Amino acid sequence: MANLQSNFLGIKSPNPFWLASAPPTDKKINVLRAFEAGWGGVVWKTLGSQIKNVSSRYSAIGYNGRRAVGFNNIELISDRPLEINLKEIIEVLKLFPDRAMVVSLMADNDRDSWHEMVKKVEDTGAHGIELNFGCPHGMVERGMGAAVGQDPEIAKMVVEWVMEVATIPIITKLTPNVHSVVPGAIAAIEGGTNGLSLINTIQSITGIDLDTLVPNPNVGGQSVYGGYCGPAVKPIALKFLTTLSQDEKINQVPISGIGGITTWKDAAEFMLLGASNVQVCTAAMVSGFKIITDLCDGLNNWMDEKGYKTIDDFIGLSVPKITKWEELDLNFHIVANINQDKCIHCGLCYIACEDTSHQAINIERGNPYNNYTINEPECVGCNLCQIVCPVTECITMVEQRKGDESINWIEFQKRGLKLNDH
């Protein structure tokens, strides 16, 4: 069997699945249950100055019968006394010394506060510290969270403060509430961070109660922007992750991937795009800690099938496959093909193509049902019909190159070719 063991900045864990800094890692009882279920590590919920959370705190959106496709929270850092958290971290470490214990921090915005917090965490025996530069709500007015992550100069300064006293690995958690995560990542690296993690939650409003007219979640008739996470944010997280993996100034440090990871396939995708391990939150909150069994078994089976012995064997393999649009092969062409034996004659492909695309599907009206075929000369290979088809592998995309030669837009322009010539 494949070896799922992870070594992130020297922080070892039996598998690459960590629970992200969030309610599931807020106290000893939760973390013990997680470790008993088999999680490789946790990032303890963010510690900092004493705060008070509000009620209610969560909201979500569903889609097509599935609940919590997108999850929103307005919860702040841990509202439990700092000393209780530190004491429980020590107790957990004694019971599970083989698991990764990283502690998230968000100190007040001055050097002494960061120094004090780092030292207190190190005294617990924790294996690493994650700097929370991403909380998009509730701490920004104090110059903390996203207020730090959105300003590269401040981010660099805070990392430098931390590195003045830190003796264990430091991971900087980046905010996605920026045009690009690259400047913040570079600033953190210049400040001395040992690793990066992303994404933190995205500012959002998940919906409005059409009876009360109050956005969700409702706190006494009012609401605020929350932090968006869950399966819906995965594509955004993968994009931000890839921009870091493609940057030579950044990809020299390990990255912990976060954002909508629900299945082992999601985890594999994050690692193929450069993440050295992954952090999970919403999936555990919705389905419980025992999902770790499926995560590990699924990843293990896939690695065995592909011949990967360790997770390091496939980390980053998909990064070179992400290029720029102008470098794509213009002569590569595909057309749709409908398997008539699998077709259920629902007509969704025809409606989608006829109304919104290229009128490339023919309809033969009949009794008891209509038949659909592809008008290949009109098919541009956009994939829409395959996407809307409810039957797996009923519609497939078949390669039909326009020419033997590969040519991209840059070469097309260099040769002075005209579109009609092509």
Asked if omega into 189 is within 30° of 0 (cis), the reply is no
Q: What is the pLDDT of residue 389?
A: 98
Q: What are phi and psi of 295, to 5 degrees?
A: -60, -45
Answer for the pair 215, 279: CB distance below 8 angstroms, yes or no: no
How are beta strands 66-73 and 170-173 bridged, if at all? unpaired
Output the pTM of the full model. 0.94
Q: What is the pLDDT of residues 104-135, one digit of tens each?
A: 999 988 999 999 999 999 999 999 999 998 76
State whether residue 415 is helix, strand or coil: coil
Specify whether 135 is catalytic.
yes
Q: And the tokens for 393?
A: 């592998």
* Better-scored residue on pLDDT, 411 or 51: 411
Q: Average pLDDT in the 23-36 region?
A: 97
> What is the average per-residue pLDDT within 233-248?
97
Give pLDDT tens digits for 36-53. Answer: 999 999 999 999 988 888
Q: At 397, which helix (H) or strand (E)?
A: strand 395-399
Element (H, E) at 361: strand 361-364
Residue 36 burial (CB count, 10 A): 12
Lowest mean pLDDT among 128-142, 208-222, 319-333: 128-142
Is there a contact between 200 and 258 (Cβ–Cβ < 8 Å)?
A: yes
Is residue 302 a contact partner of residue 264, using CB atoms and an 8 Å limit? yes
- Ranges of beta strands (E only) in 165-239 are 170-173, 195-198, 202-204, 226-229
Q: Which domains does the chain have, with CATH numbers?
A: 6-321 (3.20.20.70), 325-414 (3.30.70.20)
* CA pair distance 282, 269, nearest whole angstrom: 17
Beta bridge partners of 19: 42, 280
pLDDT at 265: 98
Q: Active-site residue among 135, 349, 353, 379?
A: 135
